[in-house]
């Protein structure tokens, strides 16, 4: 008979204790394959428990395959393969993946979070939680909540001259997420192009999706049309309102060239990444390429993670209608990746004018802060060794340093001072002198102390 001790005081019920003790004996081969188990009644009386308790334990063992039953005979121990059944050894917990923090971070595309109207955002979330409880538990439509798609359509109409239907909007959890979908929509057999210099992040997304893609050199603030043709590019990714990282606005001539290129052949598309067009320090935001496209060749991509705050992961794209229909036919089985709560709150944040006011405010704050930084740099003792490029472009500018040091030496020097910077050469495959010794600086979230600390480091670099 089985030797099993059950504990009435245990948190586990008797049948679970019995089940797991028999299971352990089977695993440890104390009970041998083929061996017969005592009948339920016998075991129950032996252990002083109810027949029901034994019955439940046997059922679970049967369900999981540790025992089998033979009609009119009883229960037997199953034969198990020799794979060692054991738990992994408990390890001390330590987190490996923490982000390095820097004294000055001139790389991360973080907005000035202290200006975000968190109390309003919280209020909207709270109100949504109170008034829309039922809806929050429903499945979100594949393309996103209608309220948010309408708010986005109205916003684009008012601020970007884009005349679209809310049905052309697709909500997703981040630009890279939408990019993965786009590749599935447009086809993995197409050839993709990315500006050079340009977004290595997008190039990575393309590479990790195993699609053929090329870096296409920029030329005259547009793209080299020869390279586009030569590489056989079908789909080109650009940020015309504010080229990343060079910072210029793509002029109308180059925009029209690209539209004409797209129109020459079926299946050609332009992906317009409008990630920070709201933030130019001078002049009005430049209208997107989408607004002058009449043939459905432009896919418009934007994110609220950068406009609003990095903790809020909501991006969207506007697809030409035929593409949206193709998406609905083929890819709408994918669930929407953003939860309903934040979509509804964001819809109100836009509709009630908070977004506009916030953008206005942050432009002002960033612009003041940026002017201060420029002034400090231009009046520092190393000013004559510095060249400023696209310094009014918003979000980031280029700073060229007249030095003998190589790019990796410059970068490592700053890193040794706990300053994170990107070099322009990190965003290009072309080893051109004009792309060297140049920092890509994002100063949208910089305190005065950090400015001084950075300038002091540049001074030291100059003296070494």
Euclidean distance between CA atoms 325 and 332, whole angstroms = 10
Report long-range pairs for 423-431 (Cβ below 8 Å, ≥24 apart): 424/197, 424/245, 424/398, 426/200, 427/197, 427/198, 427/199, 427/200, 427/244, 427/245, 428/196, 428/197, 428/198, 428/215, 429/196, 429/215, 430/196, 430/197, 430/217
CB of 60 to a copy of itself, least distance (A): 5
Contact 334, 181 (CB under 8 A): yes
263 belongs to the binding site for a copy of itself (CB under 8 A): yes
Positions in 416-455 near a copy of itself (CB under 8 A): none
Strands 396-401 and 386-389: antiparallel
CA separation for the pair 110, 130 (Å, rounded): 31
Among 50, 78, 224, 403, the residue binding a copy of itself under the rule CB under 8 A is: 78
Kindly tell me which of 207 and 456 has the beta carbon lying closer to a copy of itself: 207
List binders of a copy of itself among 151-180 (CB under 8 A): 153, 161, 163-167, 173-174, 176-177, 180
7-36 residues in contact with a copy of itself (CB under 8 A) are 16, 19
Q: Which of 331, 359, 372, 382 binds a copy of itself (CB under 8 A)?
A: 331
Binder among 107, 190, 257, 326 for a copy of itself (CB under 8 A): 257
- The b/e string for 18-35 (b: 16+ C-beta within 10 A; e otherwise) is bbebbbebbeeeebeeee
Cα gap 64→70, rounded to integer Å: 16
- Judged by CB under 8 A, the residue of 134, 264, 266, 404 near a copy of itself is 134
Pick the closer one to a copy of itself by CB: 233 or 286: 286
Binding mask 196-235 for a copy of itself (x = CB under 8 A): -----x--xx--xxx----------x--------------
CA gap 33, 40 in Å, rounded: 19
User: 202 to each of 104, 159, 206, how far by Cα in Å?
Assistant: 25, 26, 6
Residue 76 within binding range of a copy of itself, rule CB under 8 A: no
By beta-carbon proximity to a copy of itself, the closer residue of 267 and 406 is 267
Residues 389-418 contacting a copy of itself, CB under 8 A: none
Which residues on neighbouring strands pair with residue 299, listed in sequence order?
A: 271
Q: Which is nearer to a copy of itself, 311 or 431 (CB)?
A: 311
Beta-bridge partner residues of 315: 172, 303
Residue 231 or 392: the one with the smaller Cβ distance to a copy of itself is 392
Interacting residues of 176 by C-beta distance below 8 A, sequence separation 6+: 201, 205
- Residue 386 is a binding residue for a copy of itself (CB under 8 A): no
The residue range among 44-52, 112-120, 350-358, 431-439 that interacts with a copy of itself, by the rule CB under 8 A, is 112-120
Please identify which residue in 50, 339, 403, 418 interacts with a copy of itself, judged by CB under 8 A: 339
Selected binder of a copy of itself within 6, 42, 76, 116 (CB under 8 A): 116
The CB-of-211 to a copy of itself minimum distance in angstroms stands at 9
* Residues 34-73 close enough to bind a copy of itself by CB under 8 A: 56, 59-60, 63-66
Nearer CB in complex with a copy of itself: 323/458: 323
Residue 452, phi then psi, degrees to nearest 5: -65, -40
274-303 binders of a copy of itself (CB under 8 A): 282-284, 286, 291-292, 294
Closer by beta carbon to a copy of itself, 315 or else 450? 315
Is 100 near a copy of itself (CB under 8 A)? no
CA distance 286 to 336: 30
Does 249 interact with a copy of itself (rule: CB under 8 A)? yes
> In angstroms, what is the minimal distance from the CB of 112 to a copy of itself?
10
| Minimum CB distance to a copy of itself, residue 174 (Å) | 5
When asked if residue 120 is in the footprint of a copy of itself (CB under 8 A), the reply is: no
365 binds a copy of itself (CB under 8 A): no
């Amino acid at each position: 008979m089985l030797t099993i001790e059950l504990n009435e005081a245990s948190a586990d019920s008797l049948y679970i204790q019995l089940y797991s003790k028999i299971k352990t004996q089977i695993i440890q081969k104390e009970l041998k394959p083929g061996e017969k188990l005592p009948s339920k009644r016998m075991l129950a009386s032996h252990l002083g428990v109810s027949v029901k308790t034994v019955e439940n334990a046997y059922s679970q063992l049967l369900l999981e395959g540790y025992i089998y039953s033979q009609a009119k005979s009883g229960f037997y121990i199953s034969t198990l393969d020799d794979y060692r059944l054991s738990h992994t050894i408990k390890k001390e917990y330590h987190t490996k993946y923490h982000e390095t923090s820097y004294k000055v971070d001139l790389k991360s595309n973080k907005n000035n979070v202290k200006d975000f109207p968190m109390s309003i955002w919280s209020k909207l979330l709270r109100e949504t939680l109170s008034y829309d409880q039922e809806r929050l538990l429903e499945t979100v439509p594949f393309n996103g909540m209608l309220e948010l798609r309408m708010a986005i359509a109205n916003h684009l109409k008012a601020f970007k001259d884009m005349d679209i239907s809310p049905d052309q909007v697709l909500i997703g959890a981040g630009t890279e997420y939408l990019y993965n979908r786009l590749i599935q929509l447009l086809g993995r057999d197409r050839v993709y192009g990315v500006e050079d210099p340009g977004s290595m992040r997008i190039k990575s997304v393309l590479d990790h999706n195993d699609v053929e893609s090329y870096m296409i050199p920029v030329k005259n603030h547009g793209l080299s049309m020869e390279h586009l043709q030569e590489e056989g590019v079908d789909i080109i990714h650009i940020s015309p309102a504010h080229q990343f990282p060079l910072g210029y606005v793509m002029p109308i001539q180059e925009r029209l060239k690209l539209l004409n290129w797209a129109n020459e052949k079926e299946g050609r598309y332009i992906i317009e990444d409008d990630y920070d067009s709201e933030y130019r320090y001078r002049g009005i935001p430049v209208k997107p390429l989408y607004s002058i496209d009449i043939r459905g060749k432009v896919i418009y991509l934007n994110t609220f993670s950068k406009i609003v705050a990095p903790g809020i992961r909501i991006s969207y794209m506007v697809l030409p209608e035929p593409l949206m229909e193709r998406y609905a036919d083929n890819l709408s089985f994918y669930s929407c990746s953003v939860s309903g709560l934040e979509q509804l709150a964001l819809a109100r944040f836009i509709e009630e004018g908070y977004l506009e006011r916030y953008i206005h405010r942050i432009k002002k704050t960033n612009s003041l802060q940026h002017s201060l930084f420029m002034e400090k740099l231009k009046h520092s003792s190393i000013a004559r060794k510095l060249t400023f490029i696209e310094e009014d472009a918003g979000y980031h500018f280029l700073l060229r340093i007249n030095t003998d040091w190589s790019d990796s030496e410059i970068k490592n020097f700053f890193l040794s001072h706990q300053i994170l910077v990107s070099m322009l050469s990190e965003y290009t495959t072309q080893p051109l002198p004009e792309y060297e010794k140049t920092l890509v600086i994002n100063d949208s979230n910089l305190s005065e102390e950090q400015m001084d600390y950075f300038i002091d480091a540049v001074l030291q670099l100059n003296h070494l």
